[in-house]
């Protein structure tokens, strides 16, 4: 397929009958969805409206590009429920900032992608009650990865110009990207506005693109990145002491993406190639390292013992603490699932929440409530925050010596659904072991598909220092061009 | 630990007089149509995020600095989790570990110092209506116009020893808040929760919630002290509980047993970031701080009596009027007329300062006329009475009603002679040197001239006749 | 700290969730295992370390006290059935 950027050019020249294209895309979505369950809601009306606008004014850096949006990102007038039954029927009265941005650049939104309920999962097998799980595009008996399973799946199967907007808290962009054989970019925390993102863990949630190519992801990032005054945690170069490699606004991340990378220092994280990671996956990483070396990069082995051991528990504690407060608002008042107003408010809230939250949501709410209770708060919540500091410092130290870190993305190939059922809750959590480090530390990281093993995709993950997306994408592009 | 018979601590929530809410740009007041001064943020819509109102920090700092608090180096917010139908998010954004202000003092008019443990910033929940009373309503009605309004919470040490003292504290606090121009009695709510215990029960603490305004606080606490004393004398146990003040019925009723602190599961709010409270900011706030009543009192005392100065400085609206009038009128004159005449008329007509419509310009016009002799004191007093009822243009009124002082000697002499003729008995006594009769005769002339005669001249004229 | 059925039920209650008996039986060992796993953090020394509430240093996000756009009453009440005469309706207090 021709590149997305070429397609956009043709749209801008008026050489694409965009309304016709849209009808064709829409007509195939139902059957696609029947097979794969990637879309929890198809936004036919909105797609036609935006398509109409683009046909009148075919301008914009995303002109005519079809975008699917993870269900946790608010799209005005389109059912947005983070794949949870407790928000069934909820249609936001506002757009997330990223949605406004892509619409103003000519994107055509086709629907909301399925995910683990509120982001709680690594396989997208924890979709909410009554919501079908997305399946792996290469084997529908296997998981698509999570929690942005629907987004990654769509990115793989879409045979039209398409980029998805996913979201990552502990690895939810990289993981499904790896399992579905697509590129998934998680930007630095704070680079992309969280306004309109239904929160999982506010200090770790990041919206990022999932697409077929590194270039597509770079293009999308250029549009969604930037300070938003509606999000207090949005990176504001004017205010922050943070020394950013890239500076500030309106960076075109596709520019210079293909610069040669000779002389770049890439660190292979020793602990990521240890026990618990499939041999075949480790081999892929080594293959990638060899290719980078052949391109003139300097490969170094790096040890990150502290993040490797402590990032997972630290991440989960902070995540469930924040999540349990974020989910308190879902109680059958003002929006979402209602029940009849019988009983006092405690009884009512309990009824709504107990009935409509899925199992994993309940588990994480309980864990999070516990970890910040008086008497436990210091040992869990505060301790995890301090460990986060230590971990961030370790990464910062490492980036003084290397430009990027290379690891596998997932320790296993996409498992079958029946295999996943046999995993304990803790074993599920452990699947994030390779992605939680960069996520906890807010570092930008990207999954690059690196061939297949036994007919299933495998990816390698590259992580960079805060706000070093340009460098990261540059190396990623060069990995991708030689990938098997 | 405690020595007094009654121990009272207060937790006061005062709404800050800003244009917009604490974390969103909805107007804080204005359109009162239900649920129309709202947005996704104050409605707790999924995905919405708070952004802090700069003005609230300024106001919080004004208060802390005014009462001598330690100021935190950084403004940090926490989430206090609890479930209630008036909560938009089922957590309140408030301050937990490090309040903006701590360890201040508020001095009562009696001189007693009440220690302020902390003052911090938090958001208001929505307004709840129980259609059939709190205990009997199957459902509640919620209006989110109030949701997200900025509050300052002021927590005292348990330093008050009587309901009376609690009332004095509230009065003093409201005065300070008014003077700092961070609180407007007309548009801002102030509520208090009180912790009260008595010696007889071994100082078992009871919390009384939902007390609005300083008048209610004395009522509520007097009732509660009586209730507790009675319970003890009857041998009943005082439960450590939370009670609600029902102003209409004049009683407190039990809300829930206060076994232990509810577990609020505090976390630092991850949707907000720390705000530096720099030394520069503090200096700027200090420089631009409105004058407090203590400072005004000291200033006024230089010109007028301490007692008059106290009265004028004790009400910030009155002080503001006085300050503006003094820009054009001699402060001694202004002090006398405002303290004696204006307040006399207001008290007589039972008019509160909140309802006073007179503007400084009215008083300036009036006082100028008196000072230059265009009207007499007596006429001035009458005009003051009318002004308090309904203000009007003083100069126009004086002209159209011919109220100017009569100072023409021949005219005055004519009237004096008329009075002498009408009152021969008094005239004789006056001739004999009786001062009472002189006053009487002067009074008669004043009556005839409707107060417009120049009294000093009358005395001279009468003296010259005899 | 003993992670048993009672604790799970209590904490669930704090977050207004009532678990079925099966859920309690199922969740207790699962959560116990996870909570025990969390204690691995005790091994790492954080004595003089400040907590990181965000992974990058962001400060001083403030806005001016200027009124902005609001929703109207209809928009505010759009997403609920529980409404009455411009109010939201909610469950009673007792």
Residue with tokens 């006056």: B430
Tokens of B324: 């503006």
The mean pLDDT of B188-212, rounded to a whole number, is 91
Buried/exposed code over C72-90 (b: 16+ C-beta within 10 A; e: otherwise): ebebbbebbebbeeebbbb
Chain A environment of C24 (Cβ under 8 Å):
none
Chain C environment of A371 (Cβ under 8 Å):
38
- End-to-end Cα, chain B, rounded Å: 79
pLDDT score of B134: 72
Residue scoring higher pLDDT (A324 or B425): A324
- Considering the segment(s) A1-484 as one domain, its CATH architecture is Alpha-Beta Complex (3.90)
C53 at B interface, C-beta within 8 A: yes
Kindly report the average pLDDT of chain B as a whole number: 91
Tell me how close the Cα of A370 comes to any Cα of chain B, in angstroms. Answer: 8
Tell me how close the Cα of B231 comes to any Cα of chain C, in angstroms. Answer: 26
Indicate yes or no: CB of C69 within 8 angstroms of CB of B25.
yes
Give burial (CB, 10 Å; 0-12/13-18/19+) of B316. buried
Instruction: Please report, for residues A73, A433, A481, the alpha-carbon distance to residue A185 in angstroms, rounded to integers and kept in the order given.
Output: 16, 18, 17
DSSP count for chain C of H helices, then E strands: 3, 3
pTM of the predicted protein model: 0.90
Considering A55, A147, A168, A175, which one is annotated as catalytic? A147
| Those residues with Cβ within 8 angstroms of residue A272's Cβ, 6 or more apart along the chain or in another chain | A285, A308, A407, A408, A434
Tokens of A79: 């059912």
Buried/exposed code over A152-163 (b: 16+ C-beta within 10 A; e: otherwise): bbbbbbbebbbb
C64-81 residue pLDDT tens = 999 999 999 999 999 999
Indicate yes or no: CB of A202 within 8 angstroms of CB of B271.
yes
Indicate yes or no: CB of B138 within 8 angstroms of CB of C90.
no
**pLDDT category, A331, cuts 50, 70, 90?**
very high
Q: How many CB pairs under 8 A join A and B?
A: 104
pLDDT score of B256: 63
The mean pLDDT of B83-106, rounded to a whole number, is 96
B432 at A interface, C-beta within 8 A: no
Report the residue of C57, C65, C80 to disrupt the B interface, i.e. the one with the largest count of B CBs within 10 Å. Answer: C65
Domain ranges of chain A: 1-484
pLDDT score of B464: 83
pLDDT score of A279: 97
Domain ranges of chain B: 6-280, 291-400, 409-465
Buried/exposed code over A108-117 (b: 16+ C-beta within 10 A; e: otherwise): bbbbbbbbbb
B135 at A interface, C-beta within 8 A: no
Q: Which of C37, C39, C53 sits opposite A203 (nearest CB)?
A: C53
Considering A12, A55, A70, A178, which one is annotated as catalytic? A70
How far is Cα A25 from Cα A23, in angstroms, rounded to an integer?
Answer: 5
A348-404 residue pLDDT tens = 999 999 999 999 999 999 999 999 999 999 999 999 999 999 999 999 999 999 999
Residue with tokens 């002799």: B373
Q: What is the largest CA-CA distance in chain B?
A: 95
| The most confident of B27-36, B350-359, C74-83, by mean pLDDT | C74-83
pLDDT at B258 over 50: no
The mean pLDDT of A460-471, rounded to a whole number, is 97
Tell me how close the Cα of A2 comes to any Cα of chain C, in angstroms. Answer: 38
Lowest-confidence pick of A197-211, A242-256, B50-64, B214-228? A242-256
Which residue of A lies nearest to B35 if distances are taken between CA atoms?
A334
Q: Which of C53, C59, C71 sits opposite B275 (nearest CB)?
A: C59
Indicate yes or no: CB of B275 within 8 angstroms of CB of C76.
no
Subunits close to B (at least 3 CB pairs below 8 A):
A, C
Residue with tokens 């797609």: A47
Residue scoring higher pLDDT (B210 or A471): A471
Q: Which of residues 13-72 of C touch A (CB under 8 A)?
A: 13-19, 23, 27, 30-31, 33-35, 37-42, 44, 46, 49-61, 63, 71
pLDDT score of B411: 86
Cβ(A459)–Cβ(A174) below 8 Å: yes
Q: Which of C16, C62, C88 sits opposite B35 (nearest CB)?
A: C88
How far is Cα B42 from Cα B124, in angstroms, rounded to an integer?
Answer: 10
| Those residues with Cβ within 8 angstroms of residue B197's Cβ, 6 or more apart along the chain or in another chain | B2, B6, B7, B203, B204, B205, B206, B228, B238
Tokens of A255: 């520019």
Cβ(B241)–Cβ(B255) below 8 Å: yes
pLDDT score of B132: 81
Q: How many CB pairs under 8 A join B and C?
A: 122
C66 at B interface, C-beta within 8 A: yes
Chain B environment of C62 (Cβ under 8 Å):
51-54, 57, 275
How far is Cα A71 from Cα A165, in angstroms, rounded to an integer?
Answer: 9
B133 at A interface, C-beta within 8 A: no
Indicate yes or no: CB of B139 within 8 angstroms of CB of C92.
yes
Q: What is the largest CA-CA distance in chain A?
A: 70
Report the residue of C61, C64, C69, C86 to disrupt the B interface, i.e. the one with the largest count of B CBs within 10 Å. Answer: C61
ipTM surpasses 0.95: yes
Give burial (CB, 10 Å; 0-12/13-18/19+) of B166. buried
Which residue of B lies nearest to A95 if distances are taken between CA atoms?
B47
Tell me how close the Cα of C86 comes to any Cα of chain B, in angstroms. Answer: 6
How far is Cα B70 from Cα B73, in angstroms, rounded to an integer?
Answer: 9
**pLDDT category, B35, cuts 50, 70, 90?**
very high
Tell me how close the Cα of B205 comes to any Cα of chain C, in angstroms. Answer: 24
Q: Minimal CA–CA distance to B407: which of B433, B363, B365, B445?
A: B445
pLDDT score of A247: 47
A108-144 residue pLDDT tens = 999 999 999 999 999 999 999 999 999 999 999 999 9
The mean pLDDT of B218-225, rounded to a whole number, is 94
Instruction: Please report, for residues B293, B300, B335, the alpha-carbon distance to residue B305 in angstroms, rounded to integers and kept in the order given.
Output: 16, 8, 9
Tell me how close the Cα of B274 comes to any Cα of chain A, in angstroms. Answer: 10
Residues in chain B: 466
C55 at B interface, C-beta within 8 A: no
How far is Cα A87 from Cα A334, in angstroms, rounded to an integer?
Answer: 11
Kindly report the average pLDDT of chain C as a whole number: 95
- β-pairing, A66-70 vs A108-113, is parallel
Asked if A172 is an active-site residue, the reply is yes
The mean pLDDT of A226-244, rounded to a whole number, is 83
According to DSSP, the residues that pair with B194 across neighbouring strands are B10, B208
- Considering the segment(s) B409-465 as one domain, its CATH architecture is Orthogonal Bundle (1.10)
Cβ(B165)–Cβ(B217) below 8 Å: no
Residue with tokens 């460098």: A471
Q: How far is CA B173 from the centre of its chain?
A: 9
Task: Give the residue ranges of DSSP H helices in A37-169.
Answer: 44-56, 97-104, 149-157
Q: Which of A229, A233, A376 sits opposite C58 (nearest CB)?
A: A233
Asked if A70 is an active-site residue, the reply is yes
Handedness of CA C55, C58, C59, C65 (dihedral sign): negative
Q: What are phi and psi of A446, to 5 degrees?
A: -145, 140
Instruction: Please report, for residues A16, A64, A300, B172, the alpha-carbon distance to residue B110 in angstroms, rounded to integers and kept in the order given.
Output: 84, 76, 76, 11
Contacts made by residues B310-317, CB under 8 angstroms, sequence distance 24+: B311/B339, B311/B343, B312/B338, B312/B339, B314/B175, B315/B175, B315/B353, B316/B175, B316/B178, B316/B179, B317/B178, B317/B353, B317/B354, B317/B356
pLDDT score of B260: 45
Q: How many CB pairs under 8 A join A and C?
A: 196
- Please state, for a pLDDT cut of 70, what percent of chain A lies above it: 98
How far is Cα A389 from Cα A395, in angstroms, rounded to an integer?
Answer: 10
pLDDT score of B316: 80
How far is Cα B441 from Cα B453, in angstroms, rounded to an integer?
Answer: 12
**pLDDT category, A12, cuts 50, 70, 90?**
very high
| Those residues with Cβ within 8 angstroms of residue A60's Cβ, 6 or more apart along the chain or in another chain | A12, A54, A104, A105, A106, A107
**pLDDT category, B259, cuts 50, 70, 90?**
very low
Cβ(A313)–Cβ(A445) below 8 Å: no
Helix (H) or strand (E) holding B429: helix B424-431
Indicate yes or no: CB of A198 within 8 angstroms of CB of B89.
no
pLDDT score of A242: 57
Indicate yes or no: CB of A306 within 8 angstroms of CB of C91.
no
pLDDT at A176 over 60: yes
pLDDT score of B428: 85
Give burial (CB, 10 Å; 0-12/13-18/19+) of B396. exposed
How far is Cα A41 from Cα B31, in angstroms, rounded to an integer?
Answer: 37
How far is Cα C37 from Cα C35, in angstroms, rounded to an integer?
Answer: 5
Asked if A164 is an active-site residue, the reply is no
pLDDT score of B261: 46
Kindly report the average pLDDT of chain A as a whole number: 96
Indicate yes or no: CB of B53 within 8 angstroms of CB of C76.
no
Tell me how close the Cα of B236 comes to any Cα of chain C, in angstroms. Answer: 26
Chain A environment of B128 (Cβ under 8 Å):
none
Tell me how close the Cα of B261 comes to any Cα of chain A, in angstroms. Answer: 10
How far is Cα B8 from Cα B208, in angstroms, rounded to an integer?
Answer: 11
Report the residue of C17, C52, C63, C80 to disrupt the B interface, i.e. the one with the largest count of B CBs within 10 Å. Answer: C63
Indicate yes or no: CB of B47 within 8 angstroms of CB of A334.
no
pLDDT at B254 over 90: no
Cβ(A69)–Cβ(A99) below 8 Å: yes
pLDDT score of A244: 52
How far is Cα B194 from Cα B8, in angstroms, rounded to an integer?
Answer: 7
Angle between helices B316-325 and B306-313 (to 10 degrees): 110
B280 at A interface, C-beta within 8 A: no
| Those residues with Cβ within 8 angstroms of residue B180's Cβ, 6 or more apart along the chain or in another chain | B59, B62, B63, B66, B289, B290, B292
How far is Cα B31 from Cα B39, in angstroms, rounded to an integer?
Answer: 14
Q: Which of B43, B81, B272 sits opposite A325 (nearest CB)?
A: B81
**pLDDT category, A316, cuts 50, 70, 90?**
very high
Cβ(C12)–Cβ(C18) below 8 Å: yes
Q: Minimal CA–CA distance to B212: which of B190, B232, B227?
A: B190
DSSP state of A117: G
Cis peptide before A147 (omega within 30 of 0): yes
């Amino acid at each position: 397929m021709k590149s997305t950027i070429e397609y956009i050019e043709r749209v801008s020249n008026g050489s694409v009958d965009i309304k016709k294209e849209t009808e064709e895309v829409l007509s195939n979505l139902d059957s696609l969805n029947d097979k794969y369950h990637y879309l929890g809601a198809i936004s036919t009306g909105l797609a036609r409206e935006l398509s109409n606008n683009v046909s009148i004014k075919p301008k914009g850096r995303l002109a005519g590009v079809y975008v699917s949006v993870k269900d946790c990102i608010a799209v005005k007038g389109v059912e947005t429920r983070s794949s949870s039954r407790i928000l069934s029927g909820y249609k936001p009265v506002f757009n997330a900032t990223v949605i406004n941005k892509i619409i103003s650049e000519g994107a055509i939104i086709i629907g909301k992608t399925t995910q683990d309920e509120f982001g709680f999962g690594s396989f997208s097998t924890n979709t909410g009650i009554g919501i079908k799980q997305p399946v792996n595009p290469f084997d529908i008996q296997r998981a698509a990865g999570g929690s942005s399973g629907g987004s990654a799946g769509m990115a793989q199967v879409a045979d039209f110009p398409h980029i998805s907007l996913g979201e990552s808290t502990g690895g939810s962009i990289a993981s499904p990207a790896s399992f579905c054989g697509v590129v998934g970019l998680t930007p630095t925390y704070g680079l992309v506005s969280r306004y309109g993102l239904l929160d999982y863990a506010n200090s770790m949630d990041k919206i990022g693109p999932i697409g077929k190519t590194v270039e597509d992801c770079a293009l999308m990032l250029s549009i969604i990145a930037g300070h938003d005054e509606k999000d207090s945690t949005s990176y504001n170069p004017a205010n922050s002491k943070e020394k950013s490699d890239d500076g500030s606004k309106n960076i075109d991340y596709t520019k210079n993406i293909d610069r040669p990378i000779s002389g770049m220092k890439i660190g292979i994280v020793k602990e990521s190639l240890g026990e618990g990671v499939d041999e075949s996956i480790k081999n892929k990483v080594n293959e990638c390292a060899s290719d980078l070396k052949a391109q003139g990069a300097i490969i170094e082995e790096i040890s990150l013992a502290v993040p490797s051991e402590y990032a997972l528990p630290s991440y989960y504690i902070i995540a469930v603490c924040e999540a349990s407060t974020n989910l308190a608002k879902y109680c059958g008042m003002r929006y979402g699932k209602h029940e009849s107003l019988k009983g006092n408010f405690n009884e009512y809230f309990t009824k709504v929440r107990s009935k409509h939250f899925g199992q994993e949501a309940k588990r994480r709410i309980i864990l999070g409530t516990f970890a910040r209770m008086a008497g436990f708060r210091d040992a869990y919540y505060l301790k995890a925050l301090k460990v986060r500091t230590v971990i961030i410092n370790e990464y910062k130290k490492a980036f003084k010596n290397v430009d990027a870190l290379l690891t596998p993305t997932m320790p296993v190939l996409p498992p079958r659904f029946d295999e996943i059922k046999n995993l304990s809750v803790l074993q599920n959590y452990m699947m994030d072991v390779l992605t939680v480090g960069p996520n906890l530390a807010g570092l930008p990281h990207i999954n690059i598909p690196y061939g297949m093993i036994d007919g299933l995709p495998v990816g390698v993950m590259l992580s960079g220092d805060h706000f070093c997306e340009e460098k990261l994408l540059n190396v990623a592009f060069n990995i991708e061009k030689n990938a098997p | 630990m405690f020595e007094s018979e009654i121990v009272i601590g207060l937790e006061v929530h005062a709404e800050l007089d800003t244009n917009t809410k604490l974390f969103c740009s909805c107007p804080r007041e204005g359109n009162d149509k239900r649920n129309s001064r709202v947005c996704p943020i104050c409605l707790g819509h999924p995905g919405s995020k708070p952004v802090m109102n700069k003005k609230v920090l300024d106001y919080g700092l004004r208060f802390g600095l005014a009462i001598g608090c330690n100021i935190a180096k950084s403004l940090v917010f926490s989430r206090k989790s609890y479930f209630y139908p008036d909560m938009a998010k089922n957590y309140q954004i408030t301050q937990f570990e490090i309040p903006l202000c701590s360890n201040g003092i508020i001095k009562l008019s009696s001189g007693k110092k009440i220690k302020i443990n902390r003052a911090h910033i938090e958001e208001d929940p929505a307004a709840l209506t129980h259609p059939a009373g709190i205990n009997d309503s199957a459902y509640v009605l919620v209006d989110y116009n109030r949701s997200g309004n900025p509050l300052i919470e002021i927590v005292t040490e348990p330093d008050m020893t009587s309901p009376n003292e609690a009332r004095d504290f509230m009065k003093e606090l409201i005065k300070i808040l008014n003077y700092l121009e961070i609180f407007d009695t007309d548009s801002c709510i102030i509520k208090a929760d009180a912790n009260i215990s008595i010696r007889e029960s071994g100082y078992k603490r009871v919390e009384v919630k939902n007390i609005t305004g300083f008048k209610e606080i004395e009522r509520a606490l007097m009732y509660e002290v009586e209730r507790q004393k009675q319970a003890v004398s009857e041998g009943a146990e005082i439960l450590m509980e939370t009670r609600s003040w029902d102003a209409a019925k004049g009683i407190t009723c039990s809300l829930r047993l206060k076994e232990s602190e509810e577990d609020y599961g505090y976390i630092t709010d991850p949707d907000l970031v720390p705000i530096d409270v720099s030394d520069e900011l503090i200096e700027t706030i200090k420089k631009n701080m409105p004058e407090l009543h203590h400072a005004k009192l000291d200033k006024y005392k230089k010109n007028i009596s301490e007692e008059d100065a106290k009265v004028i400085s004790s009400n910030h609206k009155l002080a503001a009027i006085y300050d503006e009038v003094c820009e054009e009128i001699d402060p001694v004159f202004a002090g006398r007329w405002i303290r004696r005449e204006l307040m006399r008329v207001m008290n007589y007509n039972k008019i509160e300062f909140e309802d006073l419509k007179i503007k400084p310009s009215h008083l300036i016009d009036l006082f100028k006329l008196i000072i230059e002799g265009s009207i007499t004191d007596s006429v001035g007093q009458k005009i003051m009475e009318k002004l308090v009822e309904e203000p009007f243009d003083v100069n126009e009124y004086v002209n159209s009603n011919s109220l100017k002082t009569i100072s023409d000697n021949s005219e005055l002499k004519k009237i004096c002679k008329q009075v002498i003729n009408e009152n021969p008995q008094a005239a004789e006594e006056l001739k004999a040197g009786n001062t009472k009769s002189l006053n009487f005769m002067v009074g008669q002339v004043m009556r005839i001239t409707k107060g417009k005669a120049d009294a000093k001249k009358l005395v001279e004229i009468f003296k010259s006749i005899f | 700290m003993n992670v048993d059925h009672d604790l799970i039920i209590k904490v669930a209650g704090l977050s207004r969730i009532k678990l079925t008996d099966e859920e309690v039986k199922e969740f207790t060992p699962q959560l116990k295992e996870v909570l025990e796993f969390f204690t691995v953090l005790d091994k790492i020394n954080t004595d003089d370390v400040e907590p990181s509430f965000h992974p990058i240093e962001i400060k001083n996000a403030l806005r001016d006290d200027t009124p902005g756009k609001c929703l109207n009453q209809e928009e505010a009440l759009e997403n609920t059935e529980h409404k009455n005469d411009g109010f939201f309706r909610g469950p009673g207090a007792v």
